[in-house]
Amino acid sequence: MARLRTGIESAFWDQNVASPQCHDGWAKSVPGDPFPVEASVASKVLRPQQFSFLQNELRLPIVVPFLSPTSSKDLGSFGLQALLLKLSSHRWWLTMTGQFRPRKLIVGVKNEISNAEEFDLSTVKDVAKHFIDKALLSFGLTFQYAFSPLTSVLFGLEGHGEKARLRSKVMLYQKAWNLLQLPQHDLTVEVAWPQLFLDHKGKYWDVPESLSVDLASLLSPSGLRWRVGLHKNGGNPQQVNATDGNPPLSLQPGLCLKGATSYEKIKYFWRDKSTAEEGNEEVVPYDVRLNEPHSAVFGVIGGTFTLWLRNGRSFSSSNSTEDLGVSTSKRFEYFGDLFGSVGYSFQLGKFTKKYGDLTRLDARLDISSASEYAKKILNSSRADASASPRLNLIIQQQVVGPIVFRADTRIALECFALKNGLPVEDFICSLSYSLKSFESGKVVAWCSPKRKEGMVELRMFEF
């Protein structure tokens, strides 16, 4: 089933979306934006651990390609990432990852050779200078220490050759927190400077200082979950690789207290839960999470309450009409809102055979802000495009064996008046290769035409 907790997670500042812009492989979604497509939600496995798992599985060094535009056009979008160093003990591990962008090197060397009148020692020196250009390389260090099986702290540091400023972060994660008699809750504390955010338009924003403290419940048998968090933004957000538009309100400086609760329910029309015979390798599924043919409807409804304890400065200039409406609107000191989703899921096949054993469709209608949507209907206003419902479609089809093609599409519905057709707001296509040794593990190569990005990830026990 598609992720049902996306709505409540999208209201906070710590939902990770996959992105090759950073060494850790993710950026944060902007709170209050339309829910991201499912394929864009980042892997739960830390990026250095992905390299480590794959190297252990394949018994070979792993070099992963990625696509990511940069502010410096001569660097190009294509790059390679690899795990350069790994040290570990039973309580801690330390890794170093490296990225290399070859375009500038190839073009520079080609120009030097073609422009040289004769190939001599000076030409060799000029060519050698291109190999030591620091803009070609970037490095990331990650250190994690486990105080106990349920408590760990992570430190991250990365530097990009074409940028003077380093990215730093500290994360404290406490699973199944026992303090205050809350055994079914996870506590996460994260500090980053700067923190990278990705909005629903595909634009990146750097917030100079970001602090988040979140306490989230696990899903109860009744379908209820709740969450409370404290977040602080410091400094003025800066757009990455672009200069148009103004920051979303939720990224402006300030201290915010937010709470949310949701209720989710799934109703199966039919469901085949039969399992494979023990020892019969021919019927062992490639992925246990895609092993249940079914037809089902599902729904989620929830509410949020936000209190801004300290408001930041407002922005009054804009380069676009849509951003003008967002940037000059007042950020309320406190407000409540509702969100919800309803959807349908259908699957044929158990994903055990080599051909034609998996066809799946998931459709979900999301409303990220009921209050804004109501204003949009009553006032017939198009000022806030993010208030419109979004239709998310996911299609998965087995190609051959463990290889599956997947397409995720997000469509903005404008108040039921579709005069201009169905505007496709986001689209991500991917190919995945399931690894039977992980029960539910797969290598996913995805591409986002809108963001002009793509990368390869390892995802485990994820939809």
pLDDT at res. 59: 77
pLDDT at res. 346: 96
Mind listing the pLDDT tens digit for each residue in 270-297? 998 776 554 555 678 999 999 999 999 9
pLDDT over 50 at 395, yes or no: yes
pLDDT over 80 at 445, yes or no: yes
pLDDT at res. 439: 84
pLDDT at res. 380: 62
Cα–Cα dist 366/382, whole Å: 18
CB of 8 closer than 8 Å to CB of 219: no
Pairing of strands 209-217, 185-193: antiparallel
pLDDT over 50 at 154, yes or no: yes
Q: Tell me 117's DSSP state.
A: S
Output the pTM of the full model.
Answer: 0.88
Mind listing the pLDDT tens digit for each residue in 107-131? 888 887 888 777 777 777 878 888 8
What value does the mean pLDDT take over residues 373-398?
Answer: 79
Assign 176 a pLDDT band (cuts: 50, 70, 90): low
Mind listing the pLDDT tens digit for each residue in 304-337? 999 988 755 443 333 333 343 344 355 667 888 8
Boundaries of every domain in the chain: 6-460
Mean pLDDT of the chain: 84
Cα–Cα dist 432/443, whole Å: 5
Is it true that the peptide bond before 247 is cis, omega within 30 degrees of 0? Answer: no
Task: Give 427's strand partners.
Answer: 409
pLDDT over 70 at 222, yes or no: yes
What value does the mean pLDDT take over residues 29-43?
Answer: 88
What value does the mean pLDDT take over residues 126-151?
Answer: 88
CB of 268 closer than 8 Å to CB of 302: no
Cα–Cα dist 91/452, whole Å: 39
Give the phi and the psi of residue 302 in degrees, each rounded to 5: -155, 170
What value does the mean pLDDT take over residues 44-60?
Answer: 87
- For residue 63, what are its two tokens? 């070099």
